[in-house]
A and B are shown apart, each in its own frame.
Chain A
Amino acid sequence: MSVNSGFSDIDVQQVRQDFPILKEKIYDKPLVYLDNAATSQKPQVVIEAISRYYLRENSNVHRGVHLLSQQATEEYENARIKMQRFINASDSKEIIFVRGATEAINLVASSYGGKCVGEGDEIVISAMEHHSNIVPWQILCEEKGAKLRIIPMNDRGELLLEEYEKLLNSKTRLVAVVHVSNSLGTINPVEKIIELAHQNNTPVLLDGAQAAPHIKLDVQELDCDFYAISSHKVYGPTGIGVLYGKAELLESMPPYQAGGDMISSVTFEETLYNALPFKFEAGTPNIAGVIGLGAAIEYVNCIGLDRIAARESKLLAYASEKISVIPGLKPIGTAREKAGVLAFVMDGIHAHDIGTILDQEGIAIRTGHHCSQPVMDYFDVPATARASFSFYNTREEADILVRGLQKVQEVFS
């Protein structure tokens, strides 16, 4: 494979060959996987990288003098450099491996929040956050006697920047906002959000779980202070993710968890912490996960995020138009800037029933509150159905979804 930076169309039949699971049958029907916002499928190269590690390289990292340990360490640290380049961080020590975007946010809440947030201080989040970017801040605020402030949104699912600006003040210690909403698909104007926060001397954390698979990231250009990524949404394995943090911020923060690898020396009187990034990576890490993530990044680079974004945007436009003809279907989340998420409700039909009927057609979508109950409350729906697209999805699959939804209507007619 070679790096493709051009804008030529992705050969979808070709890339589908890279994902073994896409050949699976569900109830004797071809799998139509439209639940990519929940987790993406894994290309063969990722599966092989994990398997190769366990078959031929399994050993612990940063410890042994023996060859296997050296090889494992090299591959592990190479993945860190791949991730550094993937998001254009200035130094690989700014890449902290964690369990996922959730742990990345918890790390910042616990370490940065523990040190820098006090009584009467404020944390700003938005109305469209995933629970993982709400609850850690709620816990922190409760502990510290701080206050959570919420950026409101409009009926399209777009944040109200003028309201956001009013929330920033001398007590604001952090702005933590989702880059791309998992429940609405909204791509937030994070450049503006960061600019306004920095004018207020407030650092910004971006929850990039949904953004990383769709948007070419440049954390230096964005100038965000923290960025959270989940591997399994970027075609890598589950159980691994990344916290990017500006080195000077990470240096100033206390450790998050304590144990092996995060120390440089220990006596019963005193412990000296290891340098970045190891200060935040206590214990034997998810080595196979990191190696798998490294392979996933290489794969995404080969396809090219520009081409991925262009294809997903075309698919979303096609599917949005197709389902708009279904009577009684109401889209939830109609922001002008959107990634490949198509969430909707249907008159008189609960999302869960939609999900069950589509499943019988081999179509996998997500139904429920998408870990974003405040978003459901805002739109006054108990749940939504959500189809989410990846570059390996096809127009034919969007057509199958539409036929599936027509079947849902027949059942409930």
Chain B
Amino acid sequence: MSYLNELYQQIILDHNKTPKNFREMEDANRKAEGYNPLCGDKVTIYLKIEAGTIKDISFQGSGCAISTASASLMTEILKGKTESETKDLFDAFHGLVTGETVESDPIEKLGKLAALQGVSEFPVRVKCATLVWHTLQAALQEKQQPVSTE
């Protein structure tokens, strides 16, 4: 498979076209905004956290296929996860898309998120994949300032 096909896998294209959990959440108890000034991507993350566990998560915004699919896949996988499990997943995901860590079986560790491994061949696109995760982190830490990739 070429690097390009690796990047734009069917699962990525599907999540871009019909993203999951793409909605505002009125009863969210955490919320944060993220922005990538380089390409104009904007994302808002909504969280409902109860006893340290993500009960519900959703997002809204506009962005490229990589950032939209990354947000969609992230919201799918994080439902029901604790904050510490979330942190572990972010670390593993970050290692995957930057190519810094090479998992022998990324699917086992990251599930569907492993589909974003192709990003590691496109260094300028890493921020597209990680923007939503940085925004999530800001929501968890209840930061008021919008997150910027720059």
Contacts and interface: CB of A to CB of B under 8 A. Distances in A.
Interface stretch (A46-54, A175-183, A344-352, A388-396): A344-352
A352 B125 contact: yes
A369 B3 contact: no
B11 interface: no
A81 interface: no
B41 interface: yes
Contacts of A411: 4, 8, 13
Contact of A353 (B17, B37, B66): B66
A382 interface: yes
A356 B7 contact: yes
Contacts, number: 51
B3 A350 contact: no
Contacts of A360: 2-4
Given A350-B63, A350-B64, A350-B65, A412 B40 contact: no
B13 A412 contact: yes
Interface string A318-356: 000000000000000000000000000000111111001
Interface string B21-50: 000000000000000011111100000000
A360 B122 CA distance: 10
Q: Is the interface of B mostly helix, strand, loop or mixed?
A: mixed
B140 interface: no
A383 B17 contact: no
Residue in B3, B38, B39, B41 whose Cβ sees the most chain A Cβ within 10 Å: B39
Contacts of B37: 369
A412 B7 CA distance: 12
Contacts of B64: 350-353
B150 to A, nearest CB: 12
A382 B41 contact: yes
A118 interface: no
A374 interface: no
A85 B41 CA distance: 44
Contacts of B2: 360
B125 A356 contact: yes
A376 B38 CA distance: 13
A350 B7 CA distance: 15
Contacts of A353: 8, 64-66
By size class, the interface of chain B is: 20 to 34
A383 B39 contact: yes
A376 B17 CA distance: 23
Interface in B98-148: 122, 124-125, 128
A376 B62 CA distance: 13
Contacts of A102: none
A382 B122 contact: no
B3 A382 contact: no
Nearest to B62: A382
Nearest to B38: A368
A367 interface: yes
Interface string A217-261: 000000000000000000000000000000000000000000000
Interface string A355-368: 01100100000011
Contact of B39 (A348, A357, A382, A412): A382
B45 to A, nearest CB: 18
Interface string B51-87: 0000000000011111000000000000000000000
Contact of B40 (A348, A349, A356, A383): A383
Contacts of A368: 38-40
Given A368-B40, A382-B39, A352 B128 contact: yes
Nearest to B3: A360
Contacts of A369: 37, 39-40
A382 B17 contact: no
Contacts of A382: 39-42, 62-63
A150 to B, nearest CB: 21
B124 to A, nearest CB: 8
B4 A357 contact: yes
B52 to A, nearest CB: 35
A-B pairs, 4 with minimum CB distance: A350-B64, A382-B40, A352-B64, A383-B40
6 contacts: A349-B65, A356-B4, A356-B124, A357-B8, A367-B39, A411-B4
Interface of B: 2-4, 7-8, 13, 17, 37-42, 62-66, 122, 124-125, 128
